[in-house]
Amino acid sequence: MGNQVCTGGKSEASKQYAIMDPETDRIFSFRLRSTHGKDLKTKELIIEALVNGTWEKQEASFAMPGFRQYLVSLVVCQHFYLIANAKEREIPVQEVEGEVTITTGKDWIMKQFAGTFTLGLDPAVSAANATPDALKYCQERMALCPVSKNLPAGTHKKITVCVKGEE
């Protein structure tokens, strides 16, 4: 999985790669926002999908199309692994904002996953542990999410983890 550590909020999720065919590919856009307590337990996680030009909150239900459930599970799994590993590295995450773009071919087989996750750190706690090496560790571990590990062979994957406000 291609990874990049960055600072600031520069999004990789919206970049289009050469593998895309605008005539036949399907593009799915998601965004997420989460807040976390001092123990990094998730207080709130909101995931939205861009549906017909409008951002719609996603909540699992029998009415949600099955493929969208699969894509949402991929976004949730990435978030879970990000927070679990930030906790392991003692990175004081207070909030996360994420953008994810998933591209499939006309046959619905995934071709590309691109996600940018921007961490807002707790200002009351030292951010000394939010080093480039620690962020790199988190994004490498995100690739171990079971949903990610089961993506089709050849899927182009790019995860970027940023710290808000460091430009």
User: What confidence tens digit (pLDDT) does each residue in 84-95 have?
Assistant: 999 999 999 999
What's the CA gap between 163 and 10, in Å, rounded? 10
Tell me, what's the pLDDT at 12?
A: 47
8-17: average pLDDT: 46
Q: Which of 27, 29, 26, 25 is nearest to 11 (CA)?
A: 29
**Alpha-carbon torsion (15, 166, 84, 47), positive or negative:** negative
Whole-model pTM: value is 0.86
Percent of the chain topping pLDDT 70: 86
107-135: average pLDDT: 93
User: What confidence tens digit (pLDDT) does each residue in 31-73 have?
Assistant: 999 999 989 999 999 999 999 999 999 988 888 888 999 999 9
Contacts of 56 (CB under 8 A, 6+ apart): 48, 49, 50
Q: Categorize the per-residue pLDDT at 19 as very low, low, confident or very high, splitting at 50, 70 and 90.
A: low
4-24: average pLDDT: 54
